[in-house]
Amino acid sequence: MFRTSRDRQRNYGVILLAYHLLNSDYIPPVTLGTILFQIIVFLGFIPALDHFKIPAMCLLPSRIISQHEWLRLFASLIMHADDMHLYYNMISFLWKGRRLETRFGSRRFFILLMTFCISTSICMVALSYLVEVVFGFRSLQLMKQCAVGFSGVIFALKVLHNNYFPDSDSVIFGWFPVSSRYGCWVELFLIQMVTPNASFIGHLAGIIVGLLYLNGPLKLLTDFIDTTALLLFGQRNGSHYNGYRNSGSSTTHGRQNFFEYTGGMTEEEQLRYAREESLRGNRYPSAPPYPDSFMS
- Of the listed ranges 48-57, 100-109, 278-287, the one predicted with least confidence: 278-287
**Tens of pLDDT along 64-112?**
999 999 999 999 999 999 999 999 999 999 989 999 999 999 999 999 9
Read off the pLDDT of each residue in 246-272 and give the average, rounded to a whole number. Answer: 44
Instruction: Taking each helix axis as running N to C, give the angle between helix 253-262 and helix 83-104, from 0 to 180 degrees, rounded to the nearest 10.
Output: 160
Residue 126 has pLDDT above 60, yes or no: yes
183: pLDDT confidence band, cut at 50, 70 and 90? confident
How far is residue 129's CA from residue 144's CA, in Å, rounded to a whole number? Answer: 10
173: pLDDT confidence band, cut at 50, 70 and 90? low
pLDDT on residue 214: 95
191: pLDDT confidence band, cut at 50, 70 and 90? confident
Query: 235 Cβ partners below 8 Å, 6+ apart?
Result: none
- Calculate the average pLDDT of the chain: 80
Read off the pLDDT of each residue in 202-218 and give the average, rounded to a whole number. Answer: 94
Please tell me which residue, 26 or 295, carries the higher pLDDT value: 26
166: pLDDT confidence band, cut at 50, 70 and 90? confident
pLDDT on residue 251: 38
Read off the pLDDT of each residue in 213-227 and give the average, rounded to a whole number. Answer: 93
CATH 1.20.59.20 fits 4-295, yes or no: no
Residue 270 has pLDDT above 50, yes or no: yes
Please tell me which residue, 290 or 51, carries the higher pLDDT value: 51
Please spell the DSSP secondary structure of the chain, one letter per residue: ---HHHHHHTTHHHHHHHHHHHT-S---HHHHHHHHHHHHHHTT-SGGG-GGGHHHHSB-HHHHHHH--THHHHHGGG--SSHHHHHHHHHHHHHHHHHHHHHH-HHHHHHHHHHHHHHHHHHHHHHHHIIIIIS--GGG-GGG-EEE-SHHHHHHHHHHHHHH-TTS-EEETTTEEE-TTTHHHHHHHHHHHH-TTB-HHHHHHHHHHHHHHHHSHHHHHHHHHHHHHHHHH--GGGS-----SS---TTTHHHHHHHHHHTT--HHHHHHHHHHHHHHTT---SS-SSSSEEE-
How far is residue 73's CA from residue 120's CA, in Å, rounded to a whole number? Answer: 9
Residue 207 has pLDDT above 60, yes or no: yes
Please tell me which residue, 139 or 243, carries the higher pLDDT value: 139
Read off the pLDDT of each residue in 251-270 and give the average, rounded to a whole number. Answer: 45
Residue 48 has pLDDT above 60, yes or no: yes
Instruction: Report the share of the chain in percent with pLDDT over 90.
Output: 55
282: pLDDT confidence band, cut at 50, 70 and 90? very low
Domain ranges for the chain, please list them: 4-295
How far is residue 56's CA from residue 278's CA, in Å, rounded to a whole number? Answer: 27
- Of the listed ranges 31-45, 204-218, 246-260, the one predicted with least confidence: 246-260
How far is residue 207's CA from residue 158's CA, in Å, rounded to a whole number? Answer: 8
pLDDT on residue 167: 74
How far is residue 204's CA from residue 191's CA, in Å, rounded to a whole number? Answer: 12
pLDDT on residue 262: 43
Catalytic residues: 151, 203
